[in-house]
């Protein structure tokens, strides 16, 4: 897959079969659109082209008090789309100027001029241009004159599909990581750098790597204890070491209850990994975070959590 970030420097596409969207999460709903894109491209001997925007448009033109938290960082999205077998990904820098284009300019000066589409596959509710005034009907008006095919993803399919980035975000925020995984088609993951905590973990017999997420727009799932796998990247060899563990997301009411932290205890592991980067995949939420009556009670629970996590991971690996 070729990734293009400069609209002014695009190749000439062969029968571009295009879809447009933010594709946050690259979930199963997105995958069915990608399947359709590939099918058409094969039939017309064309290339599959996805146009996406970065930053997320809702971060630029949205008026939400809480900025939208994302399921995938840009590098993760690129990785997932590459794995899905797309030929070209165009990452359009989304800014006020791009958002302010009239819908007519968007179609003529952006879509047609730069992509000369053979086919555009788009949801019936897709909106574009200033104030999201452009819609499917406007594209239809251009289709004949500029000789491109317009394929509508039927509204019925979109409405009946229970898969949406919003629903997956809600599932993760409510602690339903299994539902999220069923809709994503993979287990949710994030990446972080190991930072110093208050060095209490090792005295409990459960050292925990405290993580600072690499991408601060990434969604942090609900507080609680999770069975996880960890990928540790060896910077020199670029090999990934796969490890099992358990993770707590929360404020640790037993010890301080102040800041929200993400911390992972890795099983059968004893190395100093401060400053390293870990990718953590959530496999199951085991329980809520609780306030224990002292550190001994917490330690006993951690031993039970380790058993629960190990037995869950043994079943799934
Ligand atoms: C799997 C796991 C579950 C945890 N569950 C709780 C909990 O329910 N309540 C709590 O107060 N702290 C919980 N903790 C956090 C511990 O209090 C924390 O790891 C300990 O204070 C060490 O902190 P440090 O890494 O800053 O040294 C949990 C930690 C892990 C790794
Ligand atoms: N099994 C393990 N799981 C997680 N971290 C470990 C483990 N063994 C050693 N470590 C190292 O110890 C650190 C965690 O120890 P801890 O006492 O909890 O300190 P901190 O409060 O700084 O996180 C990790 O950042 C890592 O460098």
Q: Which domains does the chain have, with CATH numbers?
A: 2-167 (3.40.50.620), 187-316 (2.40.30.30)
Q: Give the ligand 1 atom nearest the CA of 208.
A: 25
Give distance in angstroms: CA of 206 to centre of ligand 1. 9
Tokens of residue 252, six digits: 């640790």
Give distance in angstroms: CA of 2 to centre of ligand 1. 43
Q: Residue 66: is its pLDDT beyond 80?
A: no
**Average pLDDT of the chain to the nearest whole number:** 92
- Per-residue pLDDT averaged across 174-188, rounded? 96
pLDDT tens string 277-310: 999 999 999 999 999 999 999 999 999 999 999 9
Give distance in angstroms: CA of 265 to centre of ligand 2. 7
Residues lining ligand 1, CB < 6 A? 197-201, 204, 206, 208, 210, 225, 246, 248, 252-255, 263, 265, 289-292, 298, 302, 305
Record the pTM: 0.93
């Amino acid at each position: 897959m070729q990734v293009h970030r400069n609209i002014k420097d695009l190749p000439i596409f062969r029968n571009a079969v295009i879809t447009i969207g933010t594709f946050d999460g690259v979930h199963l709903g997105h995958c069915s659109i990608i399947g359709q894109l590939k099918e058409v491209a094969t039939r017309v001997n064309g290339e599959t082209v996805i146009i996406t925007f970065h930053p997320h448009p809702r971060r630029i033109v949205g008026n939400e008090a809480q900025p939208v938290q994302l399921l995938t960082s840009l590098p993760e999205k690129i990785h997932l789309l590459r794995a899905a077998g797309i030929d070209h990904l165009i990452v359009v820098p989304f800014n006020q100027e791009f958002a302010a284009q009239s819908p007519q300019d968007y179609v003529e000066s952006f879509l047609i001029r730069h992509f000369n589409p053979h086919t555009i596959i788009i949801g019936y509710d897709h909106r574009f241009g200033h104030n999201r005034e452009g819609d499917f009907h406007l594209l239809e008006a251009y289709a004949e004159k500029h000789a491109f095919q317009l394929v509508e993803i039927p509204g019925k399919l979109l409405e009946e599909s229970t898969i949406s980035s919003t629903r997956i975000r809600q599932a993760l925020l409510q602690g339903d990581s299994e539902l999220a995984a069923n809709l994503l088609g993979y287990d949710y993951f994030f990446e972080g750098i190991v930072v110093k905590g208050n060095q209490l973990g090792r005295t409990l017999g459960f050292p925990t790597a405290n993580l600072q997420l690499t991408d601060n727009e990434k969604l942090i799932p609900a507080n609680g204890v999770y069975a996880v796998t960890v990928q540790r990247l060896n910077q020199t060899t670029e090999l990934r070491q796969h490890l099992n563990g358990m993770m707590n997301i929360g404020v640790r009411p037993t010890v301080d209850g102040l800041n929200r932290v993400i911390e992972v205890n890795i099983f059968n592991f004893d190395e100093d990994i401060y400053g390293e980067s870990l990718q953590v995949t959530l496999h199951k939420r085991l329980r809520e975070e609780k306030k224990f009556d002292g550190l001994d009670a917490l330690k006993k629970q951690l031993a039970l959590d380790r058993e629960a996590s190990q037995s869950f991971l043994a079943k799934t690996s």
